[in-house]
């Protein structure tokens, strides 16, 4: 599996290209302000993009959707519960002082759909809390290693903020401990901002999670 990530100012949000080495088919995850670099990487590696996948619809994760949609012409996928945020993109931009135009229509909601590219399948897990329609996109590499694209649900040493519209702390902690943790300590986590980590490392050392588990237990 080929995996490239890029980030760019002002939000330094991580956008990803994930591709099947055998077929050169790919998905783009969370195209933001780094979208031109992602497009260049697709070109450089000779990939065919099959889907544009969004972990959630906060503004920093979607500003590159218009360019990605125009270049690749493939379906844009989002969880239905984040559609209101996606449609509010211009207002979200205004909140952060960035001009954002209208975004292309969402083509598919994750519920019930199977998403494939080359030899890989994308398993979608609903992980609300940072926002209502946040998801974790799980993709296994050829060796059986699990890669989790978690958006802003979980970071190396931190957790997603819950003070934005639709955010909820208890919901976020349940998503992390009951949806992400069961995916296994060895699963590699690719957060929406900052460096990669693993489930095991966060379960054992993330101060927010250690404190939550200490006070709430595992149930
Ligand atoms: Zn976010
Ligand atoms: Zn973000």
Q: Are 209 and 185 in contact (CB under 8 A)?
A: no
> pLDDT in tens for each of the 219 residues of the chain?
999 999 999 999 999 999 999 999 999 999 999 999 999 999 999 999 999 999 999 999 999 999 999 999 999 999 999 999 999 999 999 988 888 888 999 999 998 667 999 999 999 999 999 999 999 999 999 898 999 999 999 999 999 999 998 999 999 999 999 999 999 999 999 999 999 999 999 999 999 999 999 998 654
pLDDT tens per residue, range 129-142 = 999 999 999 999 98
Domain with residue 71: its CATH number is 3.60.15.10
Q: How far is the CA of 13 from the centre of ligand 2 (A)?
A: 6
Q: How far is the CA of 24 from the centre of ligand 1 (A)?
A: 29
Q: Taking the CA atoms of 122, 124, 129 and 130 in sequence, report the sign of the dihedral they define.
A: positive
pLDDT at residue 218, as a whole number: 54
Q: How far is the CA of 152 from the centre of ligand 1 (A)?
A: 5
Q: How far is the CA of 193 from the centre of ligand 2 (A)?
A: 6
Q: How far is the CA of 152 from the centre of ligand 2 (A)?
A: 5
Residue 28 neighbours by CB under 8 Å, 6+ apart: 15, 16, 17, 38, 42, 49, 51, 52, 53, 68, 72
pTM for the model: 0.96
Q: How far is the CA of 173 from the centre of ligand 1 (A)?
A: 15
**Dihedral angle over CA of 40, 44, 49, 51, nearest 10:** -50
CA–CA dist 216, 10 (Å, integer): 36
* Ligand positioned closest to the Cα atom of 161: 1
Q: How far is the CA of 64 from the centre of ligand 2 (A)?
A: 13
pLDDT at residue 113, as a whole number: 67
* Ligand positioned closest to the Cα atom of 193: 2
The domain of 126 spans 2-216
**Count of domains for the chain:** 1
Residue 109, both tokens: 């909601």
């Amino acid at each position: 599996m080929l995996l490239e990530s890029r980030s760019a100012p002002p939000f330094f949000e991580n956008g990803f290209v994930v591709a099947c080495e055998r077929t050169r088919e790919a998905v783009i995850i969370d195209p933001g302000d780094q979208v031109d670099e992602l497009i260049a990487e697709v070109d450089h590696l000779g990939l065919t993009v099959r889907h544009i996948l969004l972990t959630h619809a906060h503004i920093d994760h979607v500003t590159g959707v218009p360019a990605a949609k125009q270049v690749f012409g493939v379906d844009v996928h989002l969880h239905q519960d984040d559609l209101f945020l996606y449609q509010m993109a211009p207002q979200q931009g205004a909140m952060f002082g960035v001009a954002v135009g209208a975004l292309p229509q969402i083509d598919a909601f994750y519920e019930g759909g199977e998403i494939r590219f080359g030899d890989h399948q994308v398993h979608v897990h609903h992980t609300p809390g940072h926002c209502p329609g946040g998801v974790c996109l799980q993709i296994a590499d050829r060796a059986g290693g699990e890669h989790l694209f978690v958006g802003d649900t979980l970071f190396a040493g931190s957790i997603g903020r819950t003070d934005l519209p639709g955010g909820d702390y208890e919901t976020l902690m349940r998503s992390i401990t009951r949806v992400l943790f069961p995916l296994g300590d060895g699963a590699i986590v690719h957060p929406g901002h900052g460096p990669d980590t693993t489930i095991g490392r966060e379960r054992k050392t993330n101060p927010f999670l250690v404190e939550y588990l200490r006070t709430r237990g595992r149930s």
